[in-house]
A and B are shown apart, each in its own frame.
Chain A
Amino acid sequence: MNAAVGYCSQHIPPEWIAAHGLRPVRIVPSMVENTPIEESEGLCDFMRGFFNSIETNEVDAVLSTTVCDQMRRGFDLFSSERTKPVHLFNQPALWKRSSHLKLFRYELQKLTPFFKKLGGIPPTNEMLKESMLYYEKKRIDELHRRNKRVSPEKHSIGIGLIGGPITKNEQKLLNKIMAKGTHILFDSTEYSCENAPIRYDRRALLESAFDHMTQQWFETNHAIYQRPNTKFYRWLQKKIRETNPRALILNRWIWCDFWSGETERIRTFSPVPVLILDSNHNEATERNRTRILAFLESLQQEVSPF
């Protein structure tokens, strides 16, 4: 079987991994093992969960990114005790100048030698194009599935989801809660397919699939860690205007400086109430369930006082 490459970033195109004949596996940590990165004050549980669950995930290699200090330092620790090949993808924080796109492109190209060591083959334009179209369809299907699943009932409350990645446990919790009179209008948490390019330009694919993929993934990125983070706010404003949510839920991981730093600003920016969920693997779910239910209850009372 082809080698599986585990990754977590929303900014690494899975189609690029797959075009090399490898299997992209997005690692969604569901629990925190305590090795190799032990619990300690200041450590993000998501980062720990990602690196610590690599052993239990059936992946042959790992792709991490430089988006935050936690992931960079986690990589440092993990790579010193590694049992599997690891690669650190240098994700630019800036986005306005052509040099930043050039860096992103260079980092994608740098993946090819890493993939070759795992048995991957540098893709032709045709191979990459097919891979891109396959993943494009996959993402569109996912969006359709979600929209179908959450078709609103009368008085159902529309929610916008933003923030850091949502793990399996929290996804289950959200699904349960959302089934009861609420629906998600948009989701830009870090695992969401809404952060990836939706439709590729067919003509551009024929010219150079790699160039088009690079451009699209770079431009679509509106992550909170970008500097300045104006793209995130523009995106959020557009989504709020288009979908008219009753509230936002912001999922932030404890010790995540990027989301914590912007929380107050998001509250001020948002025309609707914002619920902040503080996530860590071990304690948050129950507390978050209560907080979500109380929040939704207060919103429902606003809809119907009876």
Chain B
Amino acid sequence: MKQLKTLSINEWNRQYQQLKHAISEPPFGGDLLRHFSDGDTRLQAIKMDPSPEALNLWNFLLTEEGRLKEAKNRGTTLIGTMKDLGTVPIMAYSCENTIAFYPDGAWWIPCIMELSAGLFQIADAMGIDESFCPVRAMLGAFANENHFPHPDILICSTGAVCDDFSAIAQRLEGMGHPIHWWEIPRRSSTVAPINLPGNNKAESVQLELVKEELITVKEAIEQITGEVLSDKRLSCGIKKANHLRSLLADLRETVFRADYAPLPALELLICEMFIIHYCSDYNWACTIIGDLLDRCKKRIATKQGYFGTDAVKVFWVNPVADLKAMNILEESGGRICGSDFLFTHALDQIPTDIPPLDALSQMALADPMVGPTSERAQRIIADMKRYGSEALIISKIPGASHCAIEGKIIAETVAKELNLPTLEIEIPPLCDSMEPSIRTRIEALVESVRTESLF
């Protein structure tokens, strides 16, 4: 196997100077160092894949704010969708000249900008302190208006969602940003259950309720865009979503099942994040994921990859507040083979044989966060078996209300059913001060798997 090596931002910049005349770049292309100069200083601490496709991925991610501002200036309708992670954007992208994005994504700004944006300080001043999860950065981003343009409408799911988000969104409304709320009930399957994507079940009454709620969302989008969201249009939107989901599914399968990892965990995490709102541009999201998939297939065919076959296959639960954690995992001898970043419902294909709003209701109720933790654990177990994961890491999101208990339930269920080692670690937005401890704990996990495999 030809061993690939990740690059620091300075190494990437040197490579870019040599590459730039030989590659055709998208409109958001350019060297990565400019993002560092613009304040995304965390880039200096992380290592990146050296391919031109990864360059596009990073540029696409790091230009989202600018692309949103340009879109707003062009008169594009911007829909700020919050918490549901994948459902409302499908409706929004069914309209023309409309972009949906998640202001929730501001939770990564303190990491990317290494706290220099002062978003936590703004939230602190509003009484939203560190007992809340890092998504509190969103309040600061709305207050200082430095990060994303103000959306034309805010749509937020509530009910069986995390309390941090619900409380923060409520404060946002209190700041004078009206929100169209819609209810997502806690998923239950005791009466007349109906199958959902992802092997879950929900009561028919709950599906009816969510459908009624999504009708109000549809009406709100229609009002703001002046377009009619017919079933035909929604079906087209679902078809588009399914296309990108199948590309991502292919990429995940390719990476998780390969003998050597053809793509680092960090780049794969970012690809997965694209699925919820296409990083504000559907076509480019498809292109970038498709290109990375091709690159991975070529690498496998030419026996190129990262790490040896002794890299321990780790299933990772929850997104990391600090991107660097993904590098640490790999430097400690692990590789990602399976993940649940809180939106597995956005990975599954949406049914196309039922009316579109019924299909979207099913998808919304399949959210792992709205159901019992035991059901989330069962999906994790099924995926761990599928990808041959050898250990489980649950990254706790600091302050997140759901993390205080769910990790214990998931870890215990996995340990009981698969008899595999598990580790729960908290990853703060900047994990430098805790890095030695995080590294030691992951190394110990990796060591225990390797020791076990000797016997």
Partner of B185 from A41, A69, A92, A263 at Cβ < 8 Å: A92
Q: With A94-B181, A97-B216 as given contacts, are A80 and B158 in contact (CB-CB < 8 Å)?
A: no
B209 CB–A CB distance under 8 Å: yes
B308 CB–A CB distance under 8 Å: no
Chain A residues within an 8 Å CB radius of B373: 73, 76-77
Residues 28-70 of A, flagged 1 when their CB comes within 8 A of B and 0 if not, give 0000000001001111000000000000000000000010111
Size bracket, chain A contacts: 35 or more
B13 CB–A CB distance under 8 Å: no
A83 CB–B CB distance under 8 Å: no
Q: Is the CB of B402 within 8 A of A263?
A: no
Q: Is the CB of A93 within 8 A of B405?
A: no
B434 CB–A CB distance under 8 Å: no
Residues 177-205 of B, flagged 1 when their CB comes within 8 A of A and 0 if not, give 00101110110101100000000000001
Q: Once bound together, how far apart are the Cα atoms of A63 and B166, in whole Å? A: 24
Q: Is the CB of A255 within 8 A of B404?
A: yes
Partner of A262 from B159, B167, B209 at Cβ < 8 Å: B167
Instruction: Kindly provide the distance from the CB of B380 to the nearest chain A CB, expressed in whole angstroms.
Output: 14
B409 CB–A CB distance under 8 Å: yes
Q: With A72-B186, A97-B216 as given contacts, are A102 and B166 in contact (CB-CB < 8 Å)?
A: no
Q: Is the CB of A228 within 8 A of B173?
A: yes
Q: Once bound together, how far apart are the Cα atoms of A73 and B400, in whole Å? A: 12
Chain B residues within an 8 Å CB radius of A72: 160, 186
Q: Is the CB of B186 within 8 A of A90?
A: yes
Chain B residues within an 8 Å CB radius of A110: 190-191
Chain B residues within an 8 Å CB radius of A93: 158-159, 166, 181, 183
Partner of B167 from A76, A92, A94, A258 at Cβ < 8 Å: A258
Chain B residues within an 8 Å CB radius of A260: 127-129, 131-132, 167
Q: Once bound together, how far apart are the Cα atoms of A153 and B209, in whole Å? A: 52
Interface residues of B in 116-163 (CB under 8 A from A): 126-129, 131-132, 156, 158-160, 162-163
Q: Once bound together, how far apart are the Cα atoms of A73 and B409, in whole Å? A: 9
Q: With A42-B399, A99-B213 as given contacts, are A228 and B170 in contact (CB-CB < 8 Å)?
A: yes
B79 CB–A CB distance under 8 Å: no
B164 CB–A CB distance under 8 Å: yes
A283 CB–B CB distance under 8 Å: no
Chain B residues within an 8 Å CB radius of A265: 127, 171, 174
Chain A residues within an 8 Å CB radius of B95: none
Give the nearest-CB partner of B213 in chain A: A99
A138 CB–B CB distance under 8 Å: no
Q: Is the CB of B183 within 8 A of A229?
A: no
Partner of A73 from B129, B169, B399, B404 at Cβ < 8 Å: B404
Chain B residues within an 8 Å CB radius of A229: 170
Interface residues of B in 1-22 (CB under 8 A from A): none
Q: Once bound together, how far apart are the Cα atoms of A72 and B209, in whole Å? A: 20
Chain B residues within an 8 Å CB radius of A99: 183, 209, 212-213
A305 CB–B CB distance under 8 Å: no
Q: Is the CB of B185 within 8 A of A68?
A: no
Q: Is the CB of B158 within 8 A of A94?
A: yes
Give the nearest-CB partner of B408 in chain A: A77
Q: Is the CB of B213 within 8 A of A69?
A: no
Q: Is the CB of B186 within 8 A of A88?
A: yes
26 sample A-B contacts, Cβ–Cβ < 8 Å, listed by A number: A37-B405, A42-B400, A42-B403, A69-B162, A70-B404, A72-B186, A73-B401, A76-B374, A88-B186, A94-B159, A103-B185, A103-B205, A110-B190, A110-B191, A227-B158, A228-B170, A228-B173, A257-B163, A258-B163, A258-B167, A261-B168, A261-B171, A262-B167, A262-B171, A264-B127, A265-B174
Could you list which residues of chain B lie within 8 angstroms of chain A, going by C-beta atoms? 126-129, 131-132, 156, 158-160, 162-164, 166-171, 173-174, 179, 181-183, 185-186, 188, 190-191, 205, 209, 212-213, 216, 372-374, 399-406, 408-409
Contacts A70-B405, A93-B166 supplied; 20 other A-B pairs, CB < 8 Å: A37-B405, A40-B408, A73-B373, A76-B373, A76-B409, A88-B186, A90-B185, A90-B188, A93-B181, A94-B158, A99-B213, A106-B205, A227-B158, A229-B170, A256-B163, A260-B127, A260-B131, A260-B132, A261-B132, A261-B171
